[in-house]
Structure 1
Amino acid sequence: MKKSFVFWVEEYLYNPKFFQKILSFLLYPLSLLYCFIMWIRFKYTTPEDFGIEIISVGNLVVGGSGKTPFVTALAHNQKNIAVVLRGYGRKSKGLVIVKDKENILVDVEQSGDEAMIYAKKLPNAVVIVSEDRKVAINKAKEMGIEKIFLDDAYSKHDIKKLDILLDVPTKNNFCLPSGPYRERLWKGKFAMVLQEDKDFKRVTTLKDETSKMSLVTAIARPQRLDSYLPEVVAKHYFEDHHNFTKEELEAILRKDKSESLLVTFKDFVKIEKFGLPLSLLDLELELKYGKISEL
């Protein structure tokens, strides 16, 4: 039931059908009110200067846009850095140091899937999850960090930072609840807006390929993977940040008679502990250093 609802909402927000469009227009007055409240929030917020370089990578809409691989690509060759994020889907609360400058300190249940990606892909970075980004920034400064990357923090207008926004094309340009926009790029708010294929491109690597693979993934708008997929036996989509069980994955292998499960790295960090046969569709970003050469 939850999975069906999540996919219906994604369709409603990004590619609405006729009756969904009607619902969207009926909710439009609420969208105007919501957008006005978010503008007031921005207008009367004063950003705090933490005395350290902070770069935020985000997007204006709900759902996935490639923030995690973008931060990874931007930060991979830099030193004395920290990545700070909320840690959505984790079973812990408060501030958790997922990785210090040398070691991963917690498991994926405590970190959340996206934080664990950073921990595994950025060996030189400190990774911190916290609902309160300011607390995490101060903790990173205590640890001697010189540069901080915030994952999905455009809306944190009370933090002085450089905002990078990844543009996400959509046929629905309304604010919530009529459309996918959480906020607008407000007048007076500077942000670097980057577009796929213009400022960056996706590069995929297929590892441990088998002749019969079943796609299993729990990312937002999983149809985004279609253009990068090799031939698969079947596709199994779960809601974003879904916590897999070994039993449900074993059932997929049996039903499809597959030799392996094809997963993204976001899925891999949650599934690898089960010891099942996995093939990895690793999506990374190649940055075109025009606008972003100085970062």
Structure 2
Amino acid sequence: MLEKLFAYFIRKRNSKFDTGEILPVKCKTPVISVGNLSVGGTGKTPLVIYISNKLSELGNKVAVIGRGYKRKSKGEIVVSDGKNILADVSEAGDEMLLIAEKTCCPVLVHSKKYEAGLSAEKLFNVDYILLDDGFQHRKLSRKCDIVLIDRVSLENPFLLPKGRLRESFDALARADIICLTKGAKIQDLIRKLPKNTKPNLKIFEVNFVQASAYSLFNKNNASPADKKYIAIAGLANPKNFFEMLTNNNYCIIEKINFSDHHNYTKSDILKIINSAKRNNTACIATTEKDAVKLKKYKAEFINNNIDIFVFPLEVIIKGDFISAIKECVSS
């Protein structure tokens, strides 16, 4: 019943854009949207970072805009001007701060993403605006719609609250590029594509593999493979992170889950420290998204002789993905 009610409101909202009742805001600068059909856990943030850096390497100037989910600030915040980080995690949100730290791009957040797009265009002389989590944000016009789909979404194709989908697979009629992540198979996707799929739709397989881990408090320190670890994660789907650690032969003696975008408190830190002491280990394993929120507790961990090791993800894509994006934008 609730799923049908959710579907009704989604259809009603989308029809206002489809019929022109609501007109999207248009930027002069080409907008590239990276989004999901589902709620979280598909690998969107690493892909946004990948696209930003690849476009920058080609000599393009890129700005990244987003909402800054679970940030404590209001209005518009310039997280980075492309040279300096200008906001902390409470002002920027974990994902947008991570994007700012891992790219050389201006990063802006606003609860109305189209306003961030207009500001990015006004404040920075950029060639592309990259819209984070933009598939459902139809208020901002875009030249290229990239959608990530994981295996779980294909196997459990139900709308919220029964499943994880924000929209049905019919929404893929708007997609220009689909990225299959985390075990999603192309044959399973093809069975769910709508009949009015765009004729030039491109499909890519995107894999995420563990890159070199490092100490949060001293990046010159590599993660020791012969130690025991407490693994902590505040993700929509922490199972993938934990499996990556064990598949790379790290000894995980306890796993601690927090909710997605969890804002760590002193009580949480005490829980983690006590777990490490109880298990007689000084090593914590975590994600980059969690690390941007844990670093402010550096003193607490160091005073207890505990180090946090961050396990980043490397994006591997089969095919000429960036050329496909540029072709889509120019068409």
TM-score tier (shorter): 0.7 to 0.9
5+ long unaligned stretches in structure 2: 184-203, 215-221, 302-306, 326-331
1:223 pairs with 236, 239, 242, which one? 239
Match of 1:152 among 133, 137, 140: 133
| Matches for 1:1-295 after TM superposition, within 5 Å | 26-44=1-19, 45-77=22-54, 78=56, 79-122=60-103, 124-143=104-123, 144-161=125-142, 162-170=144-152, 171-184=155-168, 185-186=170-171, 189-196=174-181, 198-205=204-211, 206-207=213-214, 208-210=222-224, 211-229=227-245, 230-245=250-265, 246-275=269-298, 276=301, 277-295=307-325
Q: So what's the TM-score if we normalise by structure 1?
A: 0.84
CA distance in 1, matches of 2:78, 2:3: 41
Q: Offset at 1:28?
A: 4.2
How far has the Cα of 1:217 moved from its partner? 0.8
Q: Displacement of 1:40 after TM fit?
A: 2.4
In the alignment, the residues of structure 1 paired with residue 259 and residue 290 of structure 2 have an alpha-carbon distance, to the nearest angstrom, of 11
User: How many residues are aligned here?
Assistant: 269
Which whole-Å CA distance do the structure 2 matches of 1:220 and 1:213 have between them?
Answer: 21
Asked if the contact 1:58/1:151 (under 8 Å) is kept, the reply is yes
Q: C-alpha separation between the residues in 2 aligned to 1:31 and 1:109?
A: 31
Structure 1 contact 262–278 (Cα < 8 Å) conserved? yes
Measured in 2, the distance between the counterparts of 1:239 and 1:187 equals: 28
- 1:38 is displaced (CA, Å) by 3.9
- Could you tell me whether the CA contact under 8 Å between 2:31 and 2:129 is conserved in 1? yes
Q: Which amino acid aligns with 1:216?
A: I
Residues 27 and 121 of structure 2 are in contact (CA less than 8 Å); yes or no, is this contact kept in structure 1?
A: no
Deviation at 1:118, TM superposition (A): 0.8
When normalised by structure 2's length, the TM-score is: 0.75
> Does the 8 Å contact 1:31/1:174 carry over to 2?
no
| Structure with the larger RCO, 1 or 2 (CA within 8 Å, 6+ apart) | 1
What's the CA shift string for 1:29-61, capped at 9, x where partnerless? 324424433442442333332111110100111
Cα 1:264/1:72, change in 2 over 3 Å: same
Structure 1 residue runs of 5 or longer lacking an equivalent are: 1-25
Q: Which amino acid aligns with 1:119?
A: A
Please tell me the root mean square deviation across aligned C-alpha atoms, in Å. 2.0
Secondary structure of residue in 2 paired with 1:293:
helix
- Displacement of 1:220 after TM fit? 0.7
